[in-house]
Amino acid sequence: MKNYKVLHNIVGPACVFLKQGFVQTLLRVAFVEFDKNKKGYISHRDLGECMRTMGYMPTEMELIELSQQISEWSGGKIDFEDFVELMGPKLLAETADMIGVKELRDAFKEFDSDGDGQISLTELREAMKKLMGEQVTNREISEILKDVDLNGDGQVDFEEFVRMMSR
């Protein structure tokens, strides 16, 4: 079970990293919609409604604090760069636990560097070291593969990957 936690700690952030492009696009669409005068800013008064259109439900207290911060920083307006800095982490945190099949498939493809539909020991080692540096030993990687490889072929296919991630 410990090995599953190690891989969850790697794949979860990998999926979140892959989602960042989606979140950036979502933020751009929302920002443009609420930039009513097309000057590159949205009003702190529109921020709550904008946040809700993206599925983030801020509390009243959070909105009051954000409005005060924005008023102090920039006279009540927020540009896209500050909007991304403010909203990006909130959306990523909110979606991090909602990893779906597409995100799992994307993460699987990142691990499957040769695209053969299997994650070999070498590919697993490369992906984990790229994501975690030298924190994971070769022995730990071999143990993870052994635990996840349900059919004993020495590789992890997508079904095994999904089963492992759902534990």
pLDDT at 1: 43
* Domains, in order of start, for the chain: 19-95 (1.10.238.10), 100-165 (1.10.238.10)
Task: Please count the other Cβ atoms lying within 10 Å of the Cβ belonging to residue 55.
Answer: 11
Residue 157 is inside which H or E element, if any? strand 156-157
Query: What is the average pLDDT score of the chain?
Result: 76
Q: What is the pTM of this model?
A: 0.45
36: helix, strand or coil: coil
**Tokens representing 152?**
């004993």
pLDDT tens, position by position, 75-130: 888 888 888 877 776 765 565 455 566 777 788 888 899 999 999 989 988 887 77
Residues in CB range of 62: below 8 A, 6 or more apart: none
Q: What gap in Å lies between CA 153 and CA 160, rounded to an integer?
A: 11
